Structures are given as C-alpha cells and as structure tokens.
Amino acid sequence: QAQLVESGGGSVQAGGSLRLSCGASTYAYGRHCMAWFRQAPGKEREGVASFTTYNGNTYADSVKGRFTISKDNGKSTLYLQMNNLKLEDTAVYYCAAADYCPRRGRALDQAEYNLWGQGTQVTVSS
C-alpha cells in the first residue's frame, strides 16, 4: 500500500534551518511528481514546493530562495531543505505524491495530489 511518512520537523528560532524528509514506499516513491504542502493554524493548506522528474521544480513565492526540494533516488526519500526560517513558516508540513502529474500551472494545487503523509510540525519562534 502506498505510504508517505514525514520526519524532521521541530522547533527552531527565526533565521534557522530544518530539513524535512519524506520516506516513501516503493509504490509511492515511483511517482514522478511529488510535493510539499503546509497548513498553518486557522489557514487553508497551501503548496510550498513541487518536484517533477522531467519538468523541474516549482516554489511558492513566499519560500523562493529559502527552501529547496530534492529527491534521493537511492534512499527513496523526498526532502525539503528550509533555510532562513520565518515566523510565518510555522505550520504542519505534508508530503504528497500524484499518480498522474499535475496539469500545467497546478503543481502546487493540492487537488492534483492523491497520496498524502500524516504531516510533521514545524514551529519557528522569535
């Protein structure tokens, strides 16, 4: 059964860094399109970064230049390196994968993804 398991969340001061990991079962990891989403308290889930095997990566404007998404084929793991963290980055972060890659322009649209992890909490403090 497809599984995605996030790890690496925690508490960090503003300006610090964290690296999130998403371990995937063989089925889930074989997807060509995966992404990270986040949901802050009282807000809707939003796309953070997407990874596609053939068409490059996409980032939300709010994280461009600070976050980097990558995939380690040998370890079947998707990563999100988060640098220069800000208070507004506080959220539960979710890993997602798509059986069929998102339509053009929808790489950060949660409706395009059908496999989800349980989430990992990231808390940024001043």
Q: What is the mean pLDDT of residues 60-88?
A: 93
Neighbouring CB atoms inside 10 A of 7's CB total 14
C-alpha to C-alpha distance for 112 and 120, rounded to whole angstroms: 21
Q: CA quadruple 88, 91, 97, 100: dihedral positive or negative?
A: negative
Structure tokens that stand for 40 in this block: 């802050």
Helix count and strand count (H, E) for the chain: 1, 11
Mean pLDDT of the chain: 91
> Per-residue pLDDT tens for 40-60?
999 999 999 999 877 789 999
Decide: 25 and 34 in contact? Cβ < 8 Å: no
Q: How confident is the model at residue 29 (pLDDT cuts 50, 70, 90)?
A: low
Task: Quickly list H helices, 12-125.
Answer: 26-29
